[in-house]
Structures are given as C-alpha cells and as structure tokens.
Amino acid sequence: MIRFYKVFPGSLDPFKASSSAMDSLPLTAFRYCEAVRTASSIGWIIHPPIDFAIKFNGIDILIYHNQDWVPLSQAFLPGLTALWNERAPPELKGLAPPYLTKIASTRGVLQVWSGYLYETDPGWISLSRGLVNTFQSNQYRAFEGIVESDVFRPSPLFINIQLLDTENPIYFRFTEPLFQVQAFKRDSFLGGGQSRVISAFGSSGNSLEEGELDWAAFRKTIRALTPDETHQLGDYAREVRKGRRTE
C-alpha cells in the first residue's frame, strides 16, 4: 500500500502507470514485448503541481516570475503558505515545503515537489524515477532515488532533475506527467540477494566458478533457429500472461 496526502489542492491526482507507457510504446512492443509492458506498468504517475518555466545558463537557474526572469533559490506554491499556516500544528507553521529548490551543492540540479506527501506500508520502500519507457525531454533528465518511505513518513514526494539545456527556456506543464514512483519490498533492494559468476563452458582456466548450464532450458528461451520448431513472435508474452491469470 502506498498512501498519497494531497497538500496542495491544485495538484492532479497520481494515477496508476499503464502497460502502454501512457500510449507511448510502439504497437509491436505493446503487443509482444511483455518485459517492456510489465516495466511500464509498475508504479504511479506524478505531475508537477503547477505550470512553471525555468532557464539554466550553465551556472544559474532562473524562474519566470511576474513577467521577468529572476534567480531561483526556492519557490512556493501560490496560496499554500497561508493554507499551511492555517491548518498545520503550531510547531510546523512557517514550514510549508517549497515546490522548487535549487540544489546548491550541484550545478544545474533542481528539486521539484509534487504537492503531495506520501508513505508506504512497513517493509516497503519507494523508487522515484523518470517516466518508464517514455521519452520525456532532451532539456533535462531525472535522477532516480530510493526513499525509505516506510520509516521516514510521511515524506514529501519529489524528483530531482538535471537541467541540460543552457540556451532555451524549459517549460513544465501541470497536465504533463513528470515522474513515476514505484514501491518495492525492502529486501529486494537493501542488502538482499547474492550473485554468482559461473563459467558456461565448464573449466575456464581462470577464477570463474565452474557449474552446469542447462542448455535445453536455454534453448526454450530463444527464438527458433530451425524450420521444424514452432516458436512464434509473442510466445513469451502469452506464457507470462497465462501464468499471471492462474496465480
């Protein structure tokens, strides 16, 4: 379970990611590549809280405000500070989160807050990342970050982005998704699992571990190479979807 707490009333609701990557996947990938479909469908889609425009000149970040470009350190959502101070407990008054924060330690990095706080159930952590299998922009890129949202909760739901374009304004629309948040079992990320590197061809003469490779099983995972075999495009997708229906 992941819970979203809407702090800024104007924020659009998160919505479940789709196997079509919001209709951006090529038709062939959507029909036959179950690996891509599955990756695209994990998590929730998050929008910026409002429209805004910024510039990056290679050193400074500027925001368009009151019909002018001004240096950005932090920016707050319209009306939120008053609402926060009215509703928040006394010890938190004056501490409304900014929706934009320039990361001072790294040039050209901007933190964008969604207008939401969120948390996950015990044992579950979250990964914030750019939109999966979706080309977003050549003007910026999103960093991926893991938050222990079952311990530090509720936490502001944000994404850090690296600004790349030093010549043109960069526009963000609240109607256009910005990032994706995914929840995973803690053990699958932090300290869980081991790996082995095994020689596929028996004795390797080096430090690789020797082991047995199941060649017959491998043969079933690749496409047919001989005319008498019956593998067809989409076999993997059909088998995976059939297995999910029977679980």
Query: Encoding tokens for residue 217?
Result: 């099983």
Proportion of the chain above pLDDT 90, given as a percent: 64
Average pLDDT, the chain: 87
pLDDT in tens, 66-122: 999 999 999 999 999 999 999 999 999 999 999 999 998 899 999 999 999 999 999
Which pair of tokens denotes residue 165?
């374009």
Residue 115's pLDDT is 97
The greatest distance separating any two alpha carbons of the chain, rounded to the nearest whole angstrom, comes to: 76
Q: What span, in angstroms and rounded, lies between the C-alpha atoms of 178 and 100?
A: 14
Assess whether pLDDT exceeds 80 at residue 237. no
Q: By CB neighbour count within 10 A (0-12 exposed, 13-18 middle, 19+ buried), where does 136 fall? A: middle
Instruction: Give the pLDDT of residue 205.
Output: 58
Dump pLDDT digits (tens) for 207-231. Answer: 556 667 787 777 777 766 665 655 5
